Amino acid sequence: MELTLNFGSDEIYDVIIIGAGPAGSSAAIYTARAGLSTLVLYRAEADGALGVTQQIENYPGIRGPISGYELLKLMREHAKAFGAKFVRGKVIATDLLGDIKKVYTIDGREFKGRAVIVASGAMERTNKYKGEEEFLGRGVSYCGVCDAAFFKGKPVAVVGEDDYALEETEFISRFASKIYLVVPSSRIKAPPEMIEEIKSHPNVEILTHHRVIQILGSSFVEGLEVQNIETKEKKILPVDGVFIFLGGNKPSVDFLMNQVEMTDGNCIVVNEEMMTSVPGVFAAGDVLCNNIKQAVIAAADGVKAALAVDKYLNKKAKITSQW
Ligand SMILES: Cc1cc2nc3c(=O)[nH]c(=O)nc-3n(C[C@H](O)[C@H](O)[C@H](O)COP(=O)(O)OP(=O)(O)OC[C@H]3O[C@@H](n4cnc5c(N)ncnc54)[C@H](O)[C@@H]3O)c2cc1C
């Protein structure tokens, strides 16, 4: 669970895929196999809807039961074998309207591509906590790499329940004197080895089945009020910072900054070739709000988007199948 920083380069990829779930990874298999230089950006290893799925047994060819994360690893290895490059980085902004598309990650890197496939799923939060907006940048953060160093020797809380939250907790633990890991669910949705690793950190205290009531403070964060969901007991955690890494069921599209057409529910609109309203920008998987959310359907969307990218970049008259 090592978090490394490698800064953006001047390389212009044929295609940048945002998301390494079944949609993004399947797209990468096809674009890389077609000889297109392919970069896949993703937020965390066992992240996204499939990444947090404990067991799956209906993915064609994989009889299972297998964890969603194990299945994802197979898909990613398949894409890597054809030359796709996978890089961890949460995308926070994009510049999509020119011929060269730019994609920016939360730790300040810039990546360039001739085409983009958005495959970031639909696990964004819908609600905010009391105090969250008020203390944003004054103790509240959504990025360990960016802000953990500001909390050197200080106690903080991390709110989250999956691999993404664990990876960030591991990074923040290098700086903070104490971390309260507040987990709203009754269990952490991450591979057992990652949970064991985080439990071995002496400065991390895990509070499972606790909900956040409010973030407290005057000018800066001074505490986090939480409640044990079983016993109803409330307490105030004395922290200087609150890092939030939670998911929901909204499409993850904030980084598109309204450059592509979307429905009222923030679902990306695509044509029959998976292209958005912006030439060269495609979308696939749960981010489209498909009425059937299944891994195989997301994967198939990814394949369609990949073949459409090939048509777009190579100026083909029509989409051609890969044999
Ligand atoms: C609990 C649960 C159980 C399920 N069980 C099954 C099942 O048994 N069978 C089945 O077929 N389907 C199942 N599904 C549905 C299936 O998992 C989804 O339909 C599928 O994973 C969608 O694929 P996707 O690639 O579109 O998105 P996701 O799998 O959600 O992947 C999204 C990717 O985008 C990345 N990402 C998101 N935001 C950013 C960002 N800002 N920057 C960079 N990367 C980003 C994430 O890191 C992730 O890699 C289940 C879903 C859930 C939630």
List the domains of the chain with CATH numbers: 12-124+249-313 (3.50.50.60), 140-245 (3.50.50.60)
Q: How many helices and strands (H and E) does the chain possess?
A: 7, 15
**What's residue 7's pLDDT?**
55
Strands 221-228, 234-237: pairing kind: antiparallel
Give 2's DSSP letter.
-
| Both structure tokens of 242 | 């609150």
**What's residue 4's pLDDT?**
45
21 CA distance to ligand 1 middle (Å): 5
To which residue do tokens 């591979």 refer? Answer: 191
Sign of CA dihedral 250, 254, 256, 262: positive
**What's residue 143's pLDDT?**
86
Half-sphere exposure of 96 (CA within 13 A, CB side): 26
Report phi then psi at 224, rounded to 5: -130, 120
To which residue do tokens 């020119």 refer? Answer: 98
| Both structure tokens of 68 | 């969603």
Residue of 50, 67, 249 with the most ligand 1 atoms within 8 Å of its CB, for mutation: 50
Q: What angle (nearest 5°) sits at the alpha carbon of residue 89, between those of residues 252 and 71?
A: 75
| Ligand 1 atom having least distance to the Cα of 122 | 30
| Both structure tokens of 281 | 């920008």
Each residue's pLDDT tens digit, 176-221:
999 999 999 999 999 899 999 999 999 999 999 999 999 999 999 9
Report phi then psi at 128, rounded to 5: -115, 155
Flag residues of the chain having pLDDT under 50: 1-5
| Ligand 1, CB cutoff 6 Å, lining residues | 18-24, 41-44, 47-50, 53, 56, 58-59, 90-91, 119-121, 123, 252, 255, 285-287, 293-296, 298
Residue of 53, 91, 109, 123 with the most ligand 1 atoms within 8 Å of its CB, for mutation: 53
Smallest CA separation from ligand 1 atom 10, residue: 294
Helix axes of 68-81 and 22-33: crossing angle, nearest 10 degrees: 20
Cβ atoms 155, 172 nearer than 8 A: no
185-192: Cβ within 8 A, 24+ apart: 185/161, 185/209, 186/229, 188/161, 188/162, 189/52, 189/54, 189/161, 189/162, 189/163, 190/46, 190/52, 190/162, 190/163, 190/166, 191/46, 191/67, 191/69, 191/163
| Ligand 1 atom having least distance to the Cα of 51 | 29
**What's residue 8's pLDDT?**
58
To which residue do tokens 């922290």 refer? Answer: 239
**What's residue 35's pLDDT?**
97
Q: What is the ipTM of this complex?
A: 0.99
| Ligand 1 atom having least distance to the Cα of 124 | 38
| Ligand 1 atom having least distance to the Cα of 92 | 41
Cβ atoms 311, 273 nearer than 8 A: yes
Q: What angle (nearest 5°) sits at the alpha carbon of residue 186, between those of residues 183 and 188?
A: 55
List the 210-217 sheet strands across, edge first: 210-217, 221-228, 234-237
pTM across the whole model: 0.89
65 CA distance to ligand 1 middle (Å): 17
| Both structure tokens of 161 | 């329940």
Strands 91-95, 101-105: pairing kind: antiparallel
